[in-house]
Amino acid sequence: MKIITWNVNSVNVRQAHLEEVLKDVKPAIIGLQELKCETAMFPFDAVKAHGYHAIASGQKAYNGVALISQIEPQDVEIQLPNFEDDQQRLIAATIGDYRVINVYVPNGQEVDSEKYEYKLKWLAAFHDYLKDALEQYGNVIVMGDFNIVPKDEDVYAPELWQGKILCSGKEREAFNNMLSLGFVDALRVFATQDPMFTWWDYRQGQFEKDEGMRIDHFLLSKNVSARLMKSEVLRDVRAKERPSDHAPVAIYLKD
């Protein structure tokens, strides 16, 4: 069973890439972030033509999340129930045996800014939401763009990023607090020494120089992690013409 998370950085701009992934990779589930379009503008018909169901929560020009799956999603939830916010950053559903939570965490812009404080408050609410999800559901898969670099080995130049946004101590603490609830960082189960970068800035040829970060993650409840066979970053998609600055990230679970 293949599951993908991908910040598409505009689903309409990247629609052809999305359709290629659906056709060639054939994931059972794919979570998208940063749709940058209102819900009505999401390419539902194109997704359906490939044999998939889709649910989306969009927002004009910013944010937005979607779940695409071979099995029709049930018990859909949009946005954090414990955090009043008009930004579309979370969509969750039960898909087959799994409770799938797809998230686009705020960037934070700059440490000590108002947006950074908003990010930390959002993450605190998300932590409580995940705690409840673990208590309510047996098999939980959390995926998305977390906008957090968990450790120094997850960024190309840790000395340049020390204490800065994405790499600050409070952000990393929030990530570790989520793991402490009972989640496993799927990309680190096997590839403990591989950087597995998932994002590269468009500027200065950073993708070509592999100057990236690991900010897209899968967190698996422990019983789901026992089914994990493999994880990988689909770098070939990032190498396409007019790509997203994020590569899709895939995990493979035993059926």
Q: Any catalytic annotation for residue 145?
A: yes
Choice among 116, 145, 154, 216 that is catalytic: 145
Cβ–Cβ under 8 Å, residues 233 and 197: yes
Q: How far apart are CA 146 and CA 231, in angstroms?
A: 17
Residues 6 or more apart whose CB falls under 8 angstroms from that of 77 comprise: 90, 91, 92, 93
Residues 6 or more apart whose CB falls under 8 angstroms from that of 185 comprise: 150, 179, 217, 218, 219
Which parts of 81-193 are beta strand (E)? 90-95, 98-104, 140-145, 183-185
Which residue in 150, 54, 40, 162 sits closest to 102, CA to CA?
54
Choice among 104, 116, 129, 137 that is catalytic: 104
Q: Any catalytic annotation for residue 104?
A: yes
Q: How far apart are CA 234 and CA 192, in angstroms?
A: 18
Cβ–Cβ under 8 Å, residues 73 and 141: no
Which residues are catalytically annotated?
104, 145
